[in-house]
Amino acid sequence: MSPLIEINDPALADPKTIIVDVRAGADAHQRYLAGHLPNAVFANLDGDLSQKPADPAYGGRHPLPSLEAFAKTLTSWGLTPGSHVIVYDDKAAAMGGARLWWMLRAIGHKKVQVVNGGLKAALDAGIKLSTDDYRPAAAKSNYPVPAAYEGTVALDEAAAAAADKNRMVIDVREEARYLGRTEPIDLVAGHIPGAENLFYGKNMGEDGRYLPSEELQKLYHAALGETEPENVIVHCGSGVTACHTLLGMASAGITEPKLYVGSWSEWSRRGLLIG
């Protein structure tokens, strides 16, 4: 199953499909109520796809929810392990849509796709949006609590990879943040020593849609060089926009890179060397 799906795909109209609208920010629910795809359940990046950090120095600003909490959330959305899930957000998958895609894949859920272009694609296609507060029926049986989020690395492994010539750490933040010229969110500016910069925005065209898979392949192959995909770690500020690049890589047939969830928000608070 392709990780991306187009807005005109018949699967979006299938009543068995679970559609999830992911929003972020203090006004997330209000924006959802202002217009969303029909029968799309609301998901909050901060409340559903992460847990409140006890200390961002240990886990970053968006640590993953416990496996038990995530399974409970999926149950409340009506999901079963066999459900076809289609995800989108209002930021072209850059602020939550790709994160939920990655989380589902990380617990072994196979049938999950992201709307290419997100909410804008729906608006461009003239789809009539809904303003109801859609509440699906919970699944009849609890979603099984998974054993782990696969494909993650901790701070120590990210540090080791950045110092290893046979491995690679990719920082997907804007170049100005990577270079330490500005830091609008975290406490310290800079980057992990040895990390390479590949801004996630390069995944998209001007229309907010992912580039064709052939162009994405060229982009990533040029960035990775001789580094094997399984030796690649991707991070961002807090483990969210990095998933946008992981989704793009999957669309290009590159599925082995891992996510450093704590990302810069964790690294910069631990008093480590700054690049």
- Active-site residues: which are they? 236
User: What secondary structure does DSSP assign to 183-216, as a single string?
Assistant: -SSSSS----TT-EE--GGGGB-TTSSBPPHHHH
User: Residue 197 and residue 189: Cα distance in Å, rounded?
Assistant: 14
Q: What is residue 41's three-state secondary structure?
A: strand
Sign of CA dihedral 196, 200, 203, 205: negative
Cα distances (Å, whole numbers) of residue 191 to 14, 33, 196, 263, 275: 44, 37, 9, 10, 5
Name the residue among 67, 68, 109, 63 with its Cα closest to residue 86. Answer: 109
CB 186 within 8 A of CB 268: yes
Residue 145 per-residue DSSP state: P
DSSP string, 45-99: HHHHSS---S-TTTT-SSPPPPHHHHHHHHHHTT--TT--EEEEESSTTTTTHHH
Strands 18-23 and 112-115 turn out to be unpaired
Helix (H) or strand (E) holding 30: helix 28-34
